[in-house]
Every structure is written in structure tokens, then in C-alpha cells.
A = this chain, B = another copy of it.
Amino acid sequence: MVEVRNVHKRFGDLEVLKGINLTVNRGKIISIIGPSGSGKSTLLRSVNQLEVIDEGAILLDGVQVNRPDMKGLAFERHINNIRQNMGMVFQHFNLFPHLSTIDNVTLAPRKLKGMDKKTARELGMEQLERVGLAEKADVFPNWLSGGQKQRVAIARALAMKPKVMLFDEATSALDPELVEEVNRVMRSLADEHMTMLIVTHEMSFARDVSDWALFMDGGVVVEECTPDKLFSNPDQERTRNFLQKHLDNNH
């Protein structure tokens, strides 16, 4: 279970998150939608403390993730443990260019869980097959197409078998077939009690996959409810405007 409590984040003068509250229960998938620049990526990065927040608290299964009281090595150990249980897929993928696809996927299990090479390769191939990229295992990231990179990024995060996954535009480079596939993968992961936070621009994907949906604008949560309600009959004027097209289409 992930809890975000009254989180504030500033970049210099710019307040990007203005008190965000949010709870995701175990095995649930929650979608975050909102206009560009509204702070979605920042929120996701704050959850695993890639951005140090200025105020508020983040909890994973009751354990506080941000620990302003902890310093140095103690915090290091704490956060590394937490992060091993929290996979992240970046908007820009950030694959490791010096490692082949399979090494990108297996590096963390090998080095962090001490998995031996063979087991790790099996696990890695399994993850790559899941995203349909087994034949690109020994290719370097620079040779991959956009969608292939994104899928490797997903496989890499999944290989650590985290409790929580954070997806920043997880399907932006994927074609409809693959989106369908990722949707299926996510559902099966949720069944295995994985919790997921998804930032996405694809409204239909958000509607299909998620259990709960959240609309952010200007650093605040404007509205949250079930995706069906959000996409068919949101309460707020702002949400209605944003989703206009989709409301039109689906009513």
C-alpha cells in the first residue's frame, strides 16, 4: 500500500506539488492524468524519493519512505531497500547504453539479489518474452526502436519483482497491440498483488486498466474517483474541460 500525504515540492520559486494526498491499496492500479507540466512526473519521482520533497510524507506498507530525520548511510540503506521494492519506468526510459538488452534487465537481480548468471538470464529472458523482445536480448539499446526501448525499460523494472511499480508514460511509444499486451501484463501483476501508479496520456488505456483514477492540475489533485466516473461524468468543471474529447466520444 502506498500513501502520499500532503506532499509539497518546489523547484526554486516554482511550486510544482502543492499538497498532494493519495492512497493506493495493495494490488490496485491507479492512473494519474492531467495536463502537461501539472506535476505528474514530479509526483512519481517523489514517491521513490528521486526528488526530495519539501513537506509531507510518503509511506510504503506503513513504512515512511522519505525520512528527513535520517542522514547519510542510514538513509542510504533504508532507501535502497525501499527502492528494490519499487520499480520505475521513466518517461525517457533511461536504458543503460553500455549494457545489452538482457544485461539491462538482469543487472539489478544479479548485483542486488546475488542471483547467479544463469538464473538471472532465465529470469531476464522470461521478462523479455513477456514484452515480446526475446530476439533482441543481445542487442544494445542504441539499436532499438522507441517502442522496443520502452518495453525493455518495463522488463527491467519487472525483473526485480517489486511490490509497487511506477510507470511514467508507460505506453507512450507502444502501438495498440502492445498497449493491449501491457494492459494484460498489468492486470496479471495486479492479481499477484502488485500495486501500480501509472501516469498516462492515453485516456482509454487509463480507463481500461485502472481501478482508480486521479486528475491533477497545477500541482493539486482536482478530482479522484473510479475511472468510469471520471471519464463519463466528472464532478469538476476543469476535469470536464480536459476530458472533453473523451467525454464526447464515449457518451
Contacts and interface: CB of A to CB of B under 8 A. Distances in A.
Number of identical protomers: 2
A44 to B, nearest CB: 11
A3 interface: no
A147 interface: yes
Contacts of A36: 145-148, 151, 173-175, 178
Interface string A177-212: 111100000000000000000000111100000000
A242 B91 contact: no
A147 B245 contact: no
A35 interface: yes
Contact of A173 (B174, B176, B201): B201
Nearest to A34: B175
Interface residues of A, number: 37
Contact of A148 (B37, B143, B177): B37
Interface in A147-186: 147-148, 151, 168-169, 172-180
Contacts of A241: 177
A218 B36 CA distance: 33
Contacts of A172: 169, 172-173, 201
B143 A91 contact: no
A143 B51 CA distance: 13
A176 B148 contact: no
A197 B111 CA distance: 44
B176 A243 contact: yes
A200 to B, nearest CB: 9
B176 A246 contact: yes
B33 A146 contact: no
A148 B204 CA distance: 22
Given A36-B175, A146-B41, A245 B180 contact: yes
Contacts of A244: 176-177, 180
27 contacts: A34-B175, A35-B175, A35-B177, A35-B178, A36-B145, A36-B147, A36-B148, A36-B173, A36-B178, A37-B147, A37-B148, A41-B145, A91-B173, A92-B146, A147-B201, A169-B173, A172-B173, A173-B201, A174-B201, A175-B201, A175-B242, A176-B242, A176-B246, A177-B241, A179-B201, A179-B245, A180-B245
